[in-house]
Amino acid sequence: MPDEIRAPGDVVIGCSDLVVRYGDVTAVDGVSFAVRAGEVVALLGPNGAGKTSTVECLEGYRHPASGRIRVLGLDPIAQHEALVAKIGVMLQRGGVYPMLGPRRALRLFAAYYQRARDPEELLDLVSLSPVAGTPWRHLSGGEQQRLSLALALVGRPEAVFLDEPTAGVDAEGRQDIRRVVAGLAAEGVGVLLTTHELSEAERMADRVVILRHGQVVAEGTPAGLAAGGQEIVRFGAPAGLDAGSLADALGVPVTEEEPGRYVVRARATPVLTATLAAWLADRELALTDLRSGRTLEEAYLDAVGEGDGSDTRREASP
Amino acid sequence: MKALAAQIESEVYMTLRRGETLLLTIGIPVAFLVFFTTVHVVTTGARHPVTFFVPGVLALAVMSTAMVSLGIATGFERGYGVLKRLGATPLGRPRLIAAKIATVVLVELVQAAVLVPVGYGLGWHPPSGPAAIGGAGTAALEALAVALLATVGFGGLGLLLAGVLKAELNLAVANALYLVLLLAGGMVVPVGKLPSGLQTLARALPAAALSDGLHAALGSGAPVPLEAWVVLAVWAVAAPLVAAATFRWE
């Protein structure tokens, strides 16, 4: 039976109104999103936001309380057997026989699939050839993650799930993983990864879905999310400025987020920057840096908000 | 077929590479056989001690592999997330279980291939003469059937523990159970030497039923007692059923 031909843009992983409950606790509360062929989507959120629960439903490990899930057009639970032949999964930790080295593990997994990739080619792809015979338990954390990734690719999957793929991986290993993920997307594979590391999501993902308390609180491209939201100016100056006086001068609120780091919730107009510089000059204070707009991290913190230390901030309004 | 063969190959490779497994499945049975046969610390009531210890140690070998080795390995695989990960591959549970059964049987054959020649070396010979009703062939078939039933029962017990306990606790409980069944299972101490209350309990457990069966088939040459068949059959049905019902894959 020939595989369905998937055009770029076809939804390969999708859920709508997904709800997962553990007893009385609602871990996932009406989540909907889609991953298209050739797209890398990052599920982002703090611990306990419902990322892993969501992914485990999509992989067929977990029964949702309600909601509709389709992966490659299949129901992950009712059509599990058909699905597992077409997906690749990387668990958050472990999942590999501790006594098997990368070569043996890849050969074993290759035997599970009809059209498996060549284990030697995969060893090269994730730079594990030098340790191909080393048992898993003697590999470094980064090597274990790269083996896990290679095992997810053995069966030429059309949809790939990566749970915290770069956790515990050194800089070089991360580069390898990013390169492999980009390669998958280029071949038309749909990739869903979870991470709580924003920089990884920013580098790897075409789109980011931010979860908080089991709900989607923001969704978009990393650049789009960073650009959206309210106008903001950040600057560095000596700690303990008279924020009230500065707010009066600028005509907008000023917050000292942490000692020496200030946030002005306003557009970075020429007048605003000139007024700020003049106010500092009058007091013979140095400006260490000045930046307008948000990073993805700031967009993320705005989205997951609440309880991010706002009660320790000192805010002054004009 | 390719997946099953590869799975069996990997399972056998891992089993034979684990030093502690080899000690448990080959080292200890051989050591017990040689020690108890040559140093007479236990009086067995048999004409020659080796007549008692060859079937006893073969019973120990079956229990070590089917319950302890299988259970501990499976418990750690569950703890490491291996079973969960395999759930997202086309291998499937039936083939995984088939591979584990095949591995246990292969290891048991290796054990028999080591223990039986050691037994011959110590003066053992299969029962013959009027006691062996139907001859040596029937006795060997009975021994195989007893070992197979016991393998299923012990395998179920090992997987039952592995499927509900944390890997480290499972390791401790499996080892404790091994020790208890070794002493109360008629393997190195005849069940008849236990206090009478303990005897009754011991005879309801699969270890004593297994060794009773093997003592009959390979020692005295008498038919395997009906009681042993019944106990083994009950465990062979009940233990895997309970294991299947309670097993948590992650």
Q: In chain A, which residues touch B (CB < 8 A)?
A: 59-61, 81, 84-85, 87, 89, 91, 93-100, 104, 107-109, 111-113, 151, 155
Average pLDDT over every residue of A82-100: 93
Q: Confirm if A240 and A234 have CB atoms less than 8 A apart.
A: no
Residue of B nearest to A105 (CA): B10
Residue from the list B14, B89, B250 with its beta carbon closest to the beta carbon of A109: B89
Closest CA to A141 of A165, A160, A122, A119: A165
CB atoms B3 and A112 under 8 Å = yes
pLDDT at A47 over 70: yes
Task: Name the minimum distance, in Å, from the CA of A209 to any CA of chain B.
Answer: 24
Question: Residue A259, exposed/middle/buried by CB under 10 A (0-12, 13-18, 19+)?
Answer: exposed
pLDDT at B131: 47
**Chain B residues lying within 8 Å of A85, measured CB to CB:** 90
- Residue of B14, B85, B250 best to disrupt the A interface, most CBs of A under 10 A: B85
pLDDT at B109: 96
pLDDT at A306: 52
pLDDT at A176 over 80: yes
Token reading at A214: 């089991």
Residue of A nearest to B77 (CA): A97
pLDDT at A308: 43
pLDDT at A313: 40
As a three-state string, the secondary structure of A58-91 is HCCCCCCCEEEEEECCECCCCCHHHHHCCEEEEC
**What does the DSSP assignment read for B10-37?**
HHHHHHHH-HHHHIIIIIHHHHHHHHHH
Give Dmax (Cα) for chain A. Answer: 78
Average pLDDT over every residue of A109-137: 96
pLDDT class of A227 with cuts at 50, 70, 90: confident
CB atoms B6 and A99 under 8 Å = no
A287 CB neighbour count, 10 Å cutoff: 14
CB atoms B90 and A94 under 8 Å = no
CB atoms A112 and B18 under 8 Å = no
CA distance A179 to A77: 31
CB atoms B90 and A89 under 8 Å = no
Residue of A nearest to B15 (CA): A99
- Percentage of chain A exceeding pLDDT 70: 92
**Chain B residues lying within 8 Å of A108, measured CB to CB:** 6-7, 10
Residue from the list B3, B85, B92 with its beta carbon closest to the beta carbon of A95: B85
User: How high does pLDDT run on average in chain A?
Assistant: 88
pLDDT at B133: 53
CB atoms A104 and B76 under 8 Å = no
pLDDT class of A315 with cuts at 50, 70, 90: very low
Residue of B nearest to A80 (CA): B88
Q: Where does A187-261 have alpha helices with state H?
A: 198-204, 222-227, 243-250
- Residue of A55, A72, A79, A97 best to disrupt the B interface, most CBs of B under 10 A: A97
pLDDT at A293 over 80: no
CB atoms A91 and B81 under 8 Å = yes
pLDDT digits (tens, 9 = 90+) for A260-280: 999 888 888 888 889 999 999
Query: Cα torsion for B8, B96, B16, A98, to the nearest 10°?
Result: 120
Residue B17 sits at the chain A interface (C-beta within 8 Å): yes
Q: Confirm if B152 and B168 have CB atoms less than 8 A apart.
A: no
Residue from the list B76, B84, B91 with its beta carbon closest to the beta carbon of A112: B91
Task: Name the minimum distance, in Å, from the CA of A82 to any CA of chain B.
Answer: 8
Question: Residue A191, exposed/middle/buried by CB under 10 A (0-12, 13-18, 19+)?
Answer: buried
Measure Cα distances from A168 to A84, A127, A195 in Å: 27, 17, 12
CA distance B109 to B26: 11
Residue from the list A85, A95, A100 with its beta carbon closest to the beta carbon of B84: A95
- List, run by run, the mean pLDDT of 10-residue segments along chain B (250 residues): 94 92 94 91 78 94 96 94 94 89 95 95 78 65 94 95 93 95 92 90 94 91 92 96 86
**pTM (2 decimals)?**
0.82
pLDDT at A229: 55
pLDDT at A68 over 50: yes
CA distance B147 to B236: 11
CA distance B214 to B216: 5
CB atoms A108 and B17 under 8 Å = no
CB atoms A113 and B7 under 8 Å = no
pLDDT class of A3 with cuts at 50, 70, 90: very low
CB atoms A59 and B88 under 8 Å = yes
β-pairing verdict for A254-258 and A289-292: unpaired
Query: Looking at A124-138, A152-166, A229-243, B190-204, which range is the least confident one?
Result: A229-243
- Residue of B82, B95, B248, B250 best to disrupt the A interface, most CBs of A under 10 A: B82
β-pairing verdict for A25-36 and A66-71: unpaired
Bigger pLDDT: A222 or B72? B72
CB atoms A107 and B6 under 8 Å = yes
Residue from the list A60, A97, A107 with its beta carbon closest to the beta carbon of B82: A97
Q: Is A42 strand, coil or helix?
A: strand
Closest CA to A181 of A110, A90, A116, A106: A90
CB atoms A99 and B18 under 8 Å = yes
Residues 27-86 of B with CB under 8 A from A: 76-77, 80-82, 84-85
Token reading at B150: 């016991």
Which ipTM did the prediction report? 0.87
As a three-state string, the secondary structure of B69-115 is HHHHHHHHHHHCCHHHHHCCCCCCHHHHHHHHHHHHHHHHHHHHHHH
pLDDT class of A301 with cuts at 50, 70, 90: confident
Q: At what angle do helices B28-38 and B49-63 cross, to 10 degrees?
A: 160
